[in-house]
Structure 1
Amino acid sequence: MTPPMDNLETTVATPLGSLHVEVAGSGEALVLWPSLLMDADLWRAQVERFAPNYRTVSIDPPGHGRSRSLTREFTFDECARCVVTILDALGIRRAHFVGNSWGAMIGGTLAATYPDRVHTVILMNGTASRASLLQRIEYSALITVARLLGGIRPPLTRSVVRAFLGPTSRATRPDVVRQVLDTATRNEVTSVAFAVRSVVIHRPDQRRLFGAITCPALVVAGREDSTFPLAELQTMARAIPTAELVVIDDAAHLAAAEVPEIVNDLIEQFLTRHRSTEP
């Protein structure tokens, strides 16, 4: 195995193209995969908190941030294989995994399919269920409008903010609103279309698959999340035999950016209780 590096920016060739990866710190590996339309910058506060004691691995997911543009739809298993490929490239045998929304779906897939590569999973603001008819219609419309506008542009940006942020963040956290808008509008429309179809419109029901998860799992819900309301997170938690469910008030779909101190404390407490015993 390659010895860990304190700080590294690299690209890794994966089944879904070259993915941009940022590595900081040393210790047990903590892999971070963000939501649809977001990139690794979603996890800035988590990297700052955990890099002194963990080896944080922040991923720009396929077609987002500094990763290669998407040229087709994909499956969640392909995304999980991307994570395994990144772990192999960095010389990491097993890791803790933190995912938000899309990242939560991939974290569950990874833990169920590659149990020997995962210590724990923290699944935030995600789902294990298919998209509802209404959600499929809404996101199909988003793709159509984004193509007409040439990207995520006004007035579409208002819908994105409302999907990702609840009333508390929209009213009191202008820096988070700005971060969401800045990141979402940088996305290339063709990649967004492939990702939306894969993550939302054609999303599989993963409840049976998640029943195979054996590692410790923390499911985190934002009480103000309108994209995946609490009932959906409860359904996902019930599907995972090892799951604990925590609900965060005054946060919505991007809790890691909205209330980073609360999220960081939850992650730290969970990891402390489930620290790896491997040498």
Structure 2
Amino acid sequence: MDRTLMEDRYVDTVLGRIRLRVGGSGPAMLFWPSLLMDGMLWAGQVDHFAARFRVVLVDPPGHGASSPLTKPFTFDQCAAVIVEILDALGLERTHLIGNSWGGMIGGTFAALYPDRVGISVLMNATASPAGLRHRLEYPLLARSAQLLRGIRGPLVKPVIDAFLGPTARRTKPEVVAAVNDSVRRVAIDSGRHAVLSVVPHRPDQRELFGRIRTPVLVVAGIEDATFPVAETRVMAEAIPGARFVVLEGAAHLAALECPAEVNALIDEFLLAQS
């Protein structure tokens, strides 16, 4: 599908006005990206799925053209945002595809709203609380962003290093450029609230994820330095019946780094549930 045919929609939610890009027809498939990325993280999925699904790309709270964040949020509120999006679009259910932040709250949504989800594909995510490194480094990064307001260069490299592995940095300059551009567009205050809510202050969701009864595919990137394979495997093990896959050559943004491989995994998982 031509991405220019995606329609912009706006939905008022508990976390402000959310911008969506909606296109295609068929069963709904909602995509929620990582921190510091907007809905176009999923451009490679639009091209593949919009001929068969109603594709909904979310600019998450405080990102892209969604309303700025003015305070921290909870994962339960993020899951409620998904419900409000579905209600506004007249959708009873959706398949949910999430990366990092999207993967974490995709699990929250599946646990809390099982009647409104089909399959869930949770990529580059965790169900565990923040370890010492995330509790120390990310508040410092958020504070530095405030102090260096308007001076983005020094802040971009740590994000590139956290999000992309050696394969993408060495062989995929278009991916590096996309992450660079996305990070530079995030408003400092919104980014700070989101980073603190999703990384150092995130909840331990392992017990909650044990309540999930819908089909879940968990995907890890072998080069992911933010949520290494072992941590994402713990998330998969917390979800009854979840399938776990490790992608070679992928780091923290698998859908952007390896779109064809991710699309094939989603198709295969959908077929297995039909």
Band the TM-score falls in, shorter-chain normalisation: over 0.9
CA apart distance, 1:254:
0.3
Match of 1:102 in 2: 101
Alpha carbons of structure 1 residues 222 and 151: separation in structure 2 relative to 1, 3 Å: farther
The alignment yields a C-alpha RMSD, in angstroms, of: 1.0
Match of 1:248 in 2: 247
Match of 2:210 in 1: 211
Q: Does 1:118 align with 2:117?
A: yes
Match of 2:238 in 1: 239
Q: Which letter maps to 2:265?
A: L
SS in 1 for 2:115: helix
CA deviation vs aligned residue, 1:98-124 (integer Å, no higher than 9, x gap): 000000011000000000000110000
Match of 2:47 in 1: 48
Task: Work out the CA distance in 1 between the residues paired with 2:77 and 2:39.
Answer: 19
1:152, 1:185 within 8 Å by CA — same for their partners in 2? no
CA apart distance, 1:157:
1.0
Match of 1:68 in 2: 67
Q: Which letter maps to 1:112?
A: A
Task: Work out the CA distance in 2 between the residues paired with 1:43 and 1:15.
Answer: 24
Task: Work out the CA distance in 2 between the residues paired with 1:44 and 1:188.
Answer: 22
Task: Work out the CA distance in 1 between the residues paired with 2:257 and 2:7.
Answer: 26
Task: Work out the CA distance in 2 between the residues paired with 1:7 and 1:93.
Answer: 21
Task: Work out the CA distance in 2 between the residues paired with 1:152 and 1:195.
Answer: 19
CA apart distance, 1:242:
2.1
Q: Which letter maps to 1:141?
A: L
Q: Which letter maps to 2:189?
A: T
Aligned 1:152-167 pairs, distance under 5 A? 153-167=152-166
Q: Which letter maps to 1:64?
A: H
Match of 2:259 in 1: 260
SS in 2 for 1:26: coil
Task: Work out the CA distance in 2 between the residues paired with 1:180 and 1:274.
Answer: 33
Task: Work out the CA distance in 1 between the residues paired with 2:252 and 2:151.
Answer: 18
Match of 1:228 in 2: 227
Task: Work out the CA distance in 2 between the residues paired with 1:272 and 1:196.
Answer: 35
Mark the runs of 5 or more structure 2 residues left unpaired by the alignment: none
CA apart distance, 1:132:
0.7
Aligned 1:59-208 pairs, distance under 5 A? 59-151=58-150, 153-208=152-207
SS in 1 for 2:125: coil
SS in 1 for 2:243: strand
Mark the runs of 5 or more structure 1 residues left unpaired by the alignment: 1-5
CA deviation vs aligned residue, 1:164-210 (integer Å, no higher than 9, x gap): 00001001100000000000110000001110111011100000000
Task: Work out the CA distance in 2 between the residues paired with 1:136 and 1:185.
Answer: 23
Alpha carbons of structure 1 residues 152 and 170: separation in structure 2 relative to 1, 3 Å: farther
Alpha carbons of structure 1 residues 32 and 168: separation in structure 2 relative to 1, 3 Å: same
CA apart distance, 1:151:
4.9
CA deviation vs aligned residue, 1:68-122 (integer Å, no higher than 9, x gap): 0001110000000000000000010011000000000110000000000001100
SS in 2 for 1:201: coil
Alpha carbons of structure 1 residues 7 and 42: separation in structure 2 relative to 1, 3 Å: closer
Q: Which letter maps to 1:171?
A: R
Determine what percentage of the aligned residue pairs are the same residue.
Answer: 56
Match of 1:13 in 2: 12
Match of 1:27 in 2: 26
CA apart distance, 1:9:
1.0
Task: Work out the CA distance in 2 between the residues paired with 1:94 and 1:152.
Answer: 42
